[in-house]
Amino acid sequence: MHYELLKMFLVFAKIGAFTLGGGYAMVPIMEREIVDRRQWLTREEFMDILIVAQSTPGLFAINMASHIGNKARGVVGGIIGSLGVALPSILAILLIAMFFRAFQDNIYVERIFMGVRPAVVALIAAPCFSMARSAHITLSNLWIPIVACLLITLFGISPIWIILVAGLAGFVWGKIKREEKE
């Protein structure tokens, strides 16, 4: 049993270590390791977990790991799985935090980051447009992202409130629509 858990930890640590940027890049690697190679889950089970992980709060990769671990080896498996995925990134950033702070004021490092910063902002701005498609944004609901964005940028409203209100409003709106139909 301990051996099994150790193996699970290592498999997830491997998945964590080799997915740069995190998130959805992890899915094919997880699928290969967990469904094809180890057969801890069937493809069907894996797909179900994918759906739940997308609609639960939290980091997608960690949600996947905790759920897969839990399904395959119980609660302990879930804990081991999520720690396994998180460990490589924690170690990597710790090392960077320790060394980066020492080099931060170095003139060359500063020049590199002066170039990198605007590119990062572009990397964040770019997915807005591709996500707009998958979020089914049309002319009729275009006001939602715009209002959300203005509330945060102009009025400093916490995104937490936007999430709560949008989720609740969606729930209520759905109820009203259904009652109208009936």
Q: Tell me which residue of 8, 28, 25 sits closest to 71, measured CA to CA.
A: 8
Is 137 near another protein (CB under 8 A)?
yes
What are the C-alpha distances in Å from 39 to residues 10, 34, 36, 165?
Answer: 16, 6, 6, 41
Applying the rule CB under 8 A, the residues between 36 and 75 that interact with another protein are: 48, 51-53, 55-63, 66-67, 70, 75
> Residue 3 CB, nearest distance to another protein (Å)?
24
Is 100 near another protein (CB under 8 A)?
yes
CA atoms of 5 and 61, how far apart (whole Å): 19
> Residue 13 CB, nearest distance to another protein (Å)?
10
> Residue 70 CB, nearest distance to another protein (Å)?
6
Using the contact rule CB under 8 A, the part of the chain among 3-11, 31-39, 116-124 near another protein is 116-124
Candidates 20, 36, 139, 180: give the one binding another protein (CB under 8 A): 20
- Give the CA angle between residues 83, 24, 81 to the nearest 5°: 20
- Give the CA angle between residues 92, 46, 53 to the nearest 5°: 60
